[in-house]
Structure 1
Amino acid sequence: MMQQLKPIMFVGTCSDAGKSVINAAFCRIFKEDGYHPAPFKAQNMSLNSFSTAEGGEMGRAQVVQAEACGIHPHTDMNPVLLKPTNDKSSQVILNGRPIGNMSAKDYFGKENNKESLFKEATEAFQRLHARYNPIVLEGAGSISELNLRDRDITNMRMAVRTGAATYLVADIDRGGVFGSVYGTIALLNSEERALIKGIIINKFRGDSSLFEEGRTILKELTGVPVVGIIPWFRDIHIEEEDSVALEMKKNTYQPGKINVAILLLKRMSNFTDFDVLDMDPRFNTYYTNQIDEIEKADIILLPGSKNTLADLQYLRANGLAEAVVKAYKNGKKVIGICGGYQMMGAILEDPQQMEGNIPIVSGLGLLPQRTVIGSEKTTVQSKFHFLPVDTDKICSGYEIHMGETTPLNEVEISPVNRLTNGKSDGCYLNNRCWGTYMHGIFDNPIVRDHLVEGLDDNHSKNDFDYASFKEEQYSRLAALVRSHVDMEYIYNSLF
């Protein structure tokens, strides 16, 4: 039996310091070393989410980390998820279930919210801690936001509650690493500072031996050693947590490939649906809100949205809606996922104003359907047969949506997916126009092969295995991080 380890926590000097990826690396390292780890992040703010086997909703960052651990995701790994619906409010998901929309002022300002949510988060941690060893915690943003310290349920308050050996991650690529590390630690109180066991310098470009003097300086300034310098890498592919990652996706039209334009929405959700297309060598994907880039594409994908009606109005106001319809008329493929599927219909209604103050809006009119947004949220994993292409192959995916989509004027439609529970999903107009609620649908090879039909008959089949590819990436990430941190020091801090 493996020795019980203390929890370990990775916190940051700033947002996007790389905490999520480093967390995933250590999840895999502990698994490789014979332990049974699990990830935990008390509160996540993200539009990328996932449906668990139990029908709960959680942030995808902890799903990735659970995969690295080799375990099934559970909402205990992310008990509080905030999904922004606009610039001022978010849907609050607690233990996998929506409990309503709150403004930032209400969420952070009400005393009872802070205490009840921290209690829920602590109980979720304890449930995990009883089953796994060790728990690998992740902080959120910067740990030195003094104005939010007394409302914190994710960062140092959770570190103190769990007694986690805490490591500060700093992004050296954005500059100012000495000031950010020193200032972050200096602003902690004595109880919090005692938990900081080491500093990890992340995204280092060039020869890390050139930072040896920097190690010494930081140790002298803070009293905390630099235990690792992680190099900048672009050859290991780990699913990114949030839309900041889209800024790094600089692809554009590329001759010789099947070009896939993904509409860049204001409230785009679950853009991870398309990660597999980035890896399949047949496709060149790019995110765009430019009409000329849409016109050049072979396939246009409409992604999910946390505010579908507002995003559809945004597409209309910028001429993008017209460009999508025109592209279909010109022979291009147009496919919608979740909110994008809803947009492809004739009309969208939000009578209870669940998403905002827009009660009704006309859709793109590509599919003969009507969607009504309601208060009930569907979160479910599904097994299904994709079209009648091959009835022997069972595909998998998951749904996360509010709203019911029905045929317009009782017109008969063909579904995209026939679920193993007897239900159906989506609307298949033809090979060039269809929509579905199923997230993760492109992870299934049969669906990607169908996507290629009529566009690249010489390469309609491909043996790319996304699940095996992801496993390889986790192992490569673990090897990289293991080779650039003092693992002996880290283990000693956990005994």
Structure 2
Amino acid sequence: MKKLKSIMFVGTGSDVGKSIVNTAVCRILLQDGYQPAPYKAQNMSLNSFATPDGFEIGRAQAVQAEACRVDCHTDMNPILLKPSGEKMSQVVLNGKPIGNRSAVQYFRDGNHQILEDAAHTAFDRLEKRYNPIVLEGAGSISELNLRHRDVTNMSMAVYADAATYLIADIDRGGVFGSVYGSIALLKPEERKQIKGIIINKFRGDIALFDEGRKILEEITEVPVIGVIPAYKEIYIEEEDSVSLACKAKFAEDGKINIAVILLDKMANFTDFSVLERDTRVNLYYTNNVLEVEKADIVILPGSKNTLADLQELQHNGVAKSIISAHRNGKTVIGICGGYQMMGRRITDPEGVEGSIPYLSGLGLLDIETIMTSEKVTKQTIFKYKDYETQCEGYEIHMGQSNFGDAASPLNQKEDGSEGVMRSDRCWGSYIHGILDNPVVIEDVLAPYVEEKNNMVEDYATFKDRQYDLLADHFRKHLDMEKIYQALTDKD
């Protein structure tokens, strides 16, 4: 197969659809016989994933790797920032945390060369193994005050000599100004990399934008190579949690109501993706006391700052409502940070998470957790409760939880037990993705349903089919001939 140039997708702003476009083109290239791989120099997200070799990257790049049908690797996302407070983030470099940094500390001049070198080295390794590399930018490409320390957007496009496409979200309005301004503010060498414009999330008859396409091409001198209609029937895991609170509310429709506690620093909300699409379930995210108490099942999710989120739950009354739900016979589950919160006590003697030295937990599980600077990052195979079915998941957590005398293990792994079970309706685990396993879901829902859900396909098969549907959608509306022409150009 002919060697292609790298391709890159950048945006007029955040949340314009860069990750989705990248995912779609990854699958299109795979369908066309190439061996693509995703790449994002620097990602900021609380949604992360463990690589097969035990490192951590942004979840979006793991999703894109799935679309390419390759194992994810830290080279696909060498720099990951995980916000832990208003001004602080944990910095994960090449898959391992190197400490917490404020924005000022992170962006000071002394760090730029180190980060840029790490980004370039990872890209170079990746480029030798795959064809082509599909790069993704971050936020807006026209933040002039950040240009001198950019390692993610146009400086990376120039380094990779990538055929670069600017994405704008027309649903936000202001598409002409955002596209024109983004291109006009580029340096000449950056402007040279822009090969096309993609208008994303269009609603209505695309023909209505024919005149708009001509105007954009005239004022920017860049071709519009796609106008992508918004879609509803294709499911791709989301990168950000900003819209979770709007997804659903308690419903009086006979379905099983599952309340996922909405935390300020919620991590890995994709743990609930399978439950969300179960037709027996109404899953919603909330920190409303009444909505928590009315739910059949309450889930405490992971958190990047467990102590701060626990303190907030204690202040706003949600902690009491979770305890009340358990006393009233409701199911209460904790995953990762939520598992730690369900214990008797959490201590942070080294200040790993911040300034809170210790807090009492909810007291639902007989464990005590000590926060440590060492981070566990690994993929996990286990057996749930007394079932013989092999399950899969992954662990990403700080801290060590010690069992009390009354604790009963939840899961069995090759190297020992994991998680704690107080009863069939009250348990916690460090394993992300535990609720992706059908045997776990059926066990959790069993008290509330009469019949099992006879799913035609497992979650991995379902996701793979969605990548094909996404590729089909984008292939219809992208000028792939022009894209391939740019990827084979020798300029």
Distance in 2 between the 1:165 and 1:125 partners?
15
1:484/1:460 Cα in 2 relative to 1: closer, same or farther (>3 Å)?
Answer: closer
User: What is the TM-score when the length of structure 2 is the normalising length?
Assistant: 0.98
CA apart distance, 1:462: 4.5
What SS class does the counterpart of residue 107 from structure 1 fall into?
Answer: helix
Match of 2:403 in 1: 407
Distance in 2 between the 1:291 and 1:395 partners?
33
Distance in 1 between the 2:484 and 2:118 partners?
29
1:432 aligns with 2:425: yes
Distance in 2 between the 1:107 and 1:32 partners?
40
> Could you tell me which of 334, 337, 343 is aligned with 2:335?
337
Distance in 2 between the 1:87 and 1:151 partners?
21
Matches within 5 A, 1:141-152: 141-152=139-150
> Could you tell me which of 451, 454, 460 is aligned with 1:458?
451
What SS class does the counterpart of residue 439 from structure 1 fall into?
Answer: coil
1:479 aligns with 2:472: yes
CA apart distance, 1:458: 2.5
Give a deviation string over 1:1-21, Cα, whole Å, max 9, x none: x10000000000000000000
Which amino acid in structure 2 is aligned with residue 399 of structure 1? E
Matches within 5 A, 1:81-120: 81-108=80-107, 110-120=108-118
What SS class does the counterpart of residue 39 from structure 1 fall into?
Answer: strand
CA apart distance, 1:413: 2.1
Match of 1:160 in 2: 158
Distance in 1 between the 2:453 and 2:174 partners?
49
Distance in 2 between the 1:276 and 1:127 partners?
34
Distance in 2 between the 1:249 and 1:197 partners?
36
Match of 1:7 in 2: 6
Match of 1:129 in 2: 127
What SS class does the counterpart of residue 353 from structure 1 fall into?
Answer: coil
What SS class does the counterpart of residue 131 from structure 2 fall into?
Answer: coil
Which amino acid in structure 2 is aligned with residue 112 of structure 1? G
Matches within 5 A, 1:367-406: 367-389=365-387, 391=388, 393-406=389-402
Which amino acid in structure 1 is aligned with residue 444 of structure 2? L
Give a deviation string over 1:216-248, Cα, whole Å, max 9, x none: 100111110110001111111101111224255
Match of 1:240 in 2: 238
Distance in 2 between the 1:423 and 1:215 partners?
60
Give a deviation string over 1:33-57, Cα, whole Å, max 9, x none: 0000000000000000011111100
Q: 1:205 touches 1:232 (CA, 8 Å); kept in 2?
A: yes
CA apart distance, 1:258: 1.2
Distance in 1 between the 2:335 and 2:76 partners?
26
Match of 1:323 in 2: 321
Distance in 2 between the 1:315 and 1:78 partners?
33
1:299/1:463 Cα in 2 relative to 1: closer, same or farther (>3 Å)?
Answer: farther
1:462/1:486 Cα in 2 relative to 1: closer, same or farther (>3 Å)?
Answer: closer
Which amino acid in structure 1 is aligned with residue 58 of structure 2? G
Which amino acid in structure 2 is aligned with residue 141 of structure 1? G
What SS class does the counterpart of residue 355 from structure 2 fall into?
Answer: coil
Match of 2:71 in 1: 72
Match of 1:221 in 2: 219
1:488 aligns with 2:481: yes
Distance in 2 between the 1:371 and 1:461 partners?
38
Q: 2:48 touches 2:58 (CA, 8 Å); kept in 1?
A: yes
Distance in 1 between the 2:23 and 2:2 partners?
21
Matches within 5 A, 1:263-342: 263-342=261-340
Distance in 2 between the 1:46 and 1:474 partners?
22
User: What percentage of residue pairs aligned between the two structures are identical?
Assistant: 60
Match of 1:25 in 2: 24
Match of 1:57 in 2: 56
Distance in 2 between the 1:88 and 1:371 partners?
25
Match of 1:449 in 2: 442
What SS class does the counterpart of residue 343 from structure 2 fall into?
Answer: coil
Which amino acid in structure 2 is aligned with residue 448 of structure 1? I
Give a deviation string over 1:385-434, Cα, whole Å, max 9, x none: 11112x2x2111000001000123xx142211101x22211001111100
Q: 1:253 touches 1:286 (CA, 8 Å); kept in 2?
A: no
Q: 2:250 touches 2:295 (CA, 8 Å); kept in 1?
A: no
What SS class does the counterpart of residue 385 from structure 1 fall into?
Answer: strand
Structure 2: stretches of 5+ with no match in the other structure: none
Q: 1:342 touches 1:405 (CA, 8 Å); kept in 2?
A: yes
What SS class does the counterpart of residue 459 from structure 1 fall into?
Answer: coil
Distance in 1 between the 2:118 and 2:419 partners?
36
1:39 aligns with 2:38: yes
CA apart distance, 1:461: 5.7
User: What is the TM-score when the length of structure 1 is the normalising length?
Assistant: 0.97
Q: 2:245 touches 2:284 (CA, 8 Å); kept in 1?
A: no
CA apart distance, 1:322: 0.2
Distance in 2 between the 1:325 and 1:464 partners?
36
1:248/1:288 Cα in 2 relative to 1: closer, same or farther (>3 Å)?
Answer: closer
Matches within 5 A, 1:185-264: 185-246=183-244, 248-264=246-262
Q: 1:345 touches 1:366 (CA, 8 Å); kept in 2?
A: yes
Distance in 2 between the 1:447 and 1:154 partners?
39
> Could you tell me which of 387, 412, 421 is aligned with 1:418?
412
1:55/1:194 Cα in 2 relative to 1: closer, same or farther (>3 Å)?
Answer: same
Give a deviation string over 1:296-331, Cα, whole Å, max 9, x none: 211000000000011001101111000000011011
Q: 1:52 touches 1:75 (CA, 8 Å); kept in 2?
A: yes
CA apart distance, 1:250: 3.4
What SS class does the counterpart of residue 206 from structure 1 fall into?
Answer: coil
Match of 1:470 in 2: 463
Moved over 6 A (4+): none
Distance in 1 between the 2:469 and 2:116 partners?
35
Distance in 1 between the 2:371 and 2:135 partners?
35
Q: 1:261 touches 1:297 (CA, 8 Å); kept in 2?
A: yes
Q: Which deviates the most, 209-218 or 241-250? A: 241-250
Distance in 2 between the 1:403 and 1:225 partners?
51
Matches within 5 A, 1:348-359: 348-359=346-357
